[in-house]
Amino acid sequence: MARKNIFASNTETVSDIGEQANLLANARPLANLEKPLRRAGAVGAFSQSLGGISERALRADDLEKKLTDSQAVIDLDPGAIDSSFVPDRLAGAPEDLEPLVAQIREHGQQVPILVRPHPDFPGRYQVAYGHRRLAAVRQIGGAVKAVIRPLTDEQLVISQGQENNARTDLSYIERTFFALRLERRGFSREVIMSSLGVDKAALSRMIALAASLPGEVIEAIGPAPSFGRARWAELAELLESAAKKSKALKLISTDEFASSNSDARFEMIYELLRNAKPKARSDFWRAADAKAVKITETDSNLTLSFNKAILPSFGGYIEERLDTLYKEFLELNKERKA
């Protein structure tokens, strides 16, 4: 949703939620119309009365509309606000927030965040959008300006996605990973499409790509704003190899990786896996001290070659038992996961 249609330029600030409820319950007292107007001279008093009534009536109408629409801006303690239950952002470098911190410190928080009352913890709130503004205010200190709305889960994620779309603020992988998280949370494709502003085909591609990438690798790399779908798809292909995935997981645990920015972290993993040359393994299985089966393993294949001169029918016996061996393998894995 576009923010320009949500907030008026001169927004009334209400600092207490209880006060906001009282304001909603009493219509005209919102603008203090119950107070008597000052009286001056005969003509002056009449003119002043008309002007005051007109001004206060407009102010009351405006304020009532904002409060009725749950669009009054209030000051909240950042410590009482939790993140959305479905994160849409990946952690970047701490310095990525510095420009926003400097802007808010100099000019104040110009745009409120949107929150809802926390569904599980009374007195707390959840962010629909404005996570970076909230983080910046937490660094600076003081209250954060917010709008409170009683949003459902679906309304929250749609508001969350649409606000970021309007600002083109999320990187490709953040949007893609957000889509996967929403689906795994049980949201319908229609809700996810509305949140991200994409069609069915584009959403299917996004979810398929995110599902093909190890989640720990995505989170370790972060938003990587310089890289789009094509490069992430290439990385997903590289990570299909178990050996290369193991290399990537080992790299993300290093200090050099952690100290680099998000784009650099993507490049480090991409270059490591692209240039990695598979090491072939060659070995033998022996029977009665004879090399009965040759074992050859590369990055993508493991081959068993049976020496028929030593064990003429052993290879055929293994071939006949492949279905049984596979079922035993599945049962063994099931027991290990239990």
pLDDT tens-digit map of 291-320: 989 998 876 788 999 999 899 999 999 999
Q: The whole model's pTM is what?
A: 0.54
Domain C-terminal end among 30, 51, 74: 74
CB 123 within 8 A of CB 80: yes
Domain assignment present for 317 = yes
Domain assignment present for 168 = no
Domain assignment present for 269 = no
Residues 6+ apart with CB under 8 A from 226: 263, 266
Share of the chain above pLDDT 70, in %: 73
Domain assignment present for 302 = yes
Domain assignment present for 108 = no
Domain assignment present for 103 = no
Domain extent for 309: 281-337
Domain C-terminal end among 74, 95, 115: 74
CB 150 within 8 A of CB 70: yes
pLDDT of 187-197, one tens digit each? 899 999 988 88
The number of folded domains in the chain is 2
Q: CB count, 10 Å around CB of 156?
A: 23
Domain C-terminal end among 33, 48, 74: 74
- Between the alpha carbon of residue 67 and those of residues 27, 80, 233, the distances in Å are 10, 21, 47
Three-state DSSP class for 168? coil
Domain assignment present for 296 = yes
Domain assignment present for 165 = no
